[in-house]
């Protein structure tokens, strides 16, 4: 029995040993089977070239272009093409008038130059121009974002402002973004029926643009025409380029015939905007010129639109403009040319011009030279077309309880020019 037991134990041990050996062989085979691809991948990753080197090789690799009909070849690389493209885009950007298009082209040109500087054909990046071009790209990128933001805001302006833009400024070529800059400096005034927006002979420091409603324009008590939406009040001299920032005396009385909405700029602020932005200046002058033509040609039934009243108004406006220009004791060629343009537009003859100079204590010779010789003789303000220099702000006129008394006092001081 003991012998049989030992024989069985020996057989069991042998079976277990063979099982262990077989299991070990299977595991080693499986391990070799599954680990071999991983090892291959690791070896491949260790021996593979970095992607930056591959990109550099692609950018700097010499290529040849055969010119048809010629045995010569043109050598180039992607990096050199990027350099040429940068200068082509930069040159093309000078042909764009729109600032957004110009900046987009500048960014594209800068990006192409970045590629040329980083993958330079000589093998080393040119860090100095690379960094400067990167700075220019960032700067232009910020400005592009601001321009796109302004355009988005301009599309969502107040509907009343959009209506004014489409009626008055869009025909002049002014962009919505520039109009938004102009409207930001203005205030909106709502005035009831019967309000006097300005008085004949009184100082007016604002330029108004009618948005809604109608007003009557009277000269020396005679109604000459009506003002409606899209027309200006107090714009004297701006349409011919005479940009006087200080208050001007109104050449007519403007009275609201119904509740009105007006866009108001302080004259000095409007002149500053025009001086700082040529596009806005041209648009404002164009809009005022178009309004002037409308005032001269438009006539409503029942209105007295006598030429003598309009011509008298133009002469009075010219005297106020001339007085304001020469009050400093000198006048330059630019100012003389603008005043000459005003005389041509409003048909003011030389005799009228000389009479006005005489009233203002200037001679024709002094006017042409540009300097008043006798500086001890002051400008005679009280001998102008408006009598003594009575000053009253527009804010004091609108909604005042003493309108009628003020009108009578003003009428009593006026001259019969």
In CATH terms, the fold of domain 161-413 is Jelly Rolls (2.60.120)
CA nearest to 91, candidates 111, 109, 113, 115: 109
CA–CA separation, 1 vs 168, rounded Å?
A: 125
User: 191-195 long-range contacts, Cβ below 8 Å, gap at least 24?
Assistant: 191/256, 191/259, 191/260, 191/261, 191/262, 191/398, 191/399, 192/256, 192/259, 192/399, 193/256, 193/257, 193/258, 193/259, 194/255, 194/256, 195/255, 195/256, 195/260, 195/398, 195/399
Beta bridge partners of residue 206, listed in sequence order: 266
Q: Structure tokens of 131?
A: 């960094």
Compute the CA torsion angle 263, 267, 273, 277 (nearest 10 deg): 100
Give me the pLDDT at residue 238, please: 78
Residue 138 has a pLDDT of: 95
Buried b (16+ CB within 10 A) or exposed e, 108-124: bbbbbbbbbbbbbeeee
Evaluate whether 103 touches 138 at the Cβ level (below 8 Å). no
pLDDT in the model for residue 108: 93
Q: Are 406 and 198 in contact (CB under 8 A)?
A: no
Residue 152 has which token pair? 């988005």
State the DSSP string of 205-245.
-EEEEEEES-EEEEETTEEEEEE-TT-EES-TTGGGT----
Alpha-carbon gap, residue 318 to 347, rounded angstroms: 11
Q: List the domain boundaries for the chain.
A: 73-154, 161-413
What's this model's pTM, rounded to 2 decimal places? 0.59
Calpha distance 157→77 (Å, rounded): 50
Chunk the chain into consecutive blocks of 10 residues (it has 417) and report each block's average pLDDT, rounded to whole numbers. 50 58 59 53 57 78 76 79 91 86 92 90 87 94 91 87 91 90 92 91 89 89 85 80 73 91 91 89 87 68 52 73 80 81 78 85 85 59 37 39 41 35
């Amino acid at each position: 029995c003991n012998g049989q037991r030992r024989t069985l134990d020996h057989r069991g041990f042998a079976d277990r040993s063979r099982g262990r050996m077989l299991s070990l062989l299977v595991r080693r085979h499986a391990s070799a089977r599954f680990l071999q691809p991983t090892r291959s991948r690791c070896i491949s990753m260790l021996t593979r070239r970095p992607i930056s080197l591959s990109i550099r090789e692609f950018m700097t690799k010499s290529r040849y272009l055969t010119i048809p009909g010629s045995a010569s070849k043109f050598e180039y690389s992607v990096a050199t093409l990027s350099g040429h493209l940068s200068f082509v885009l930069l040159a093309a950007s000078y042909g764009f008038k729109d600032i957004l298009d110009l900046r987009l082209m500048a960014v594209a040109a800068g990006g192409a130059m970045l590629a040329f500087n980083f993958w330079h054909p000589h093998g080393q990046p040119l860090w100095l121009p690379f960094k400067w071009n990167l700075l220019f790209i960032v700067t232009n990128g910020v400005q592009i974002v601001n321009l796109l933001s302004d355009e988005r805001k301009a599309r969502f302006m107040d509907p009343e402002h959009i209506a004014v833009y489409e009626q008055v400024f869009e025909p002049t070529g002014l962009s919505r973004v520039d109009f938004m800059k102009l409207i930001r400096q203005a205030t909106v005034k709502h005035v009831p029926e019967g309000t006097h927006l300005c008085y004949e002979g009184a100082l007016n420091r604002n330029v108004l643009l009618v948005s809604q409603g109608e007003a009557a324009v009277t000269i020396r008590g005679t109604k000459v025409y009506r003002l409606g939406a899209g027309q200006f009040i107090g714009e004297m001299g701006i349409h011919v380029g005479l940009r006087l920032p200080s208050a001007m005396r109104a050449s007519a009385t403007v009275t609201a015939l119904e509740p009105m909405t007006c866009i108001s700029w302080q004259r000095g602020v409007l002149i500053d905007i025009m001086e700082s932005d040529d596009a806005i200046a041209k648009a404002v002058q164009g809009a005022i010129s178009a309004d002037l033509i409308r005032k001269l040609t438009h006539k409503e039934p029942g209105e007295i639109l006598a030429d003598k009243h309009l011509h008298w108004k133009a002469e009075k406006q010219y005297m106020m403009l001339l007085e304001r220009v020469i009050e400093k004791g000198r006048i330059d060629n630019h100012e003389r040319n603008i005043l000459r343009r005003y005389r041509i537009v409003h048909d003011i003859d030389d005799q009228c011009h000389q009479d006005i100079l005489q009233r203002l204590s200037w001679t024709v010779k002094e006017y042409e030279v540009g300097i008043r010789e006798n500086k001890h003789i002051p400008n005679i303000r009280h001998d102008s077309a408006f009598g003594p220099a009575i000053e009253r702000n527009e804010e004091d006129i609108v909604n005042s309880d003493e309108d009628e008394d003020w009108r009578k006092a003003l009428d009593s001081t006026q001259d019969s020019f």
